[in-house]
Amino acid sequence: METVTMNVKGMTCGGCVASVTRVLKAVPGVDAVDVRLNPGQATVRYDAAKVAVPSLKAAIEGAGYDVTT
């Protein structure tokens, strides 16, 4: 398992945190997700054999948020 922390821009409330958490957990290969409104970060533990960071970023961006790693 590997871990990545991404900065997520555009989250303003607990609903945003829930949305980002939900889309990340739906990605095959994701083991654990910790999304924090302050400081606007998502930490994801994932199986690198099943998913890569660009796919995780795409899931967050697909939910309407901007991502930097």
User: What are the strands of the beta sheet with 41-46, ordered from one edge?
Assistant: 30-36, 41-46, 2-9, 66-68
Task: Give the residue extent of every domain in the chain.
Answer: 8-40+47-68
**β-bridge partners, 41:** 7, 36
Could you tell me if 30 and 50 are in contact, meaning their C-beta atoms sit under 8 angstroms apart? no
Out of 3.30.930.10, 3.30.70.100, 1.10.150.120, 3.20.20.210, the CATH code matching 8-40+47-68 is 3.30.70.100
Predicted confidence at residue 18, as pLDDT, reads: 97
Predicted confidence at residue 60, as pLDDT, reads: 97
Q: Taking the model in full, what pTM does it have?
A: 0.93
Burial class, 8, CB count within 10 angstroms (exposed 0-12 / middle 13-18 / buried 19+):
buried
Predicted confidence at residue 68, as pLDDT, reads: 85
How far, in Å, CA of 54 to CA of 14, rounded? 24
pLDDT in tens, the chain (69 residues): 999 999 999 999 999 999 999 999 999 999 999 999 999 999 999 999 999 999 999 999 999 999 986
Predicted confidence at residue 38, as pLDDT, reads: 93
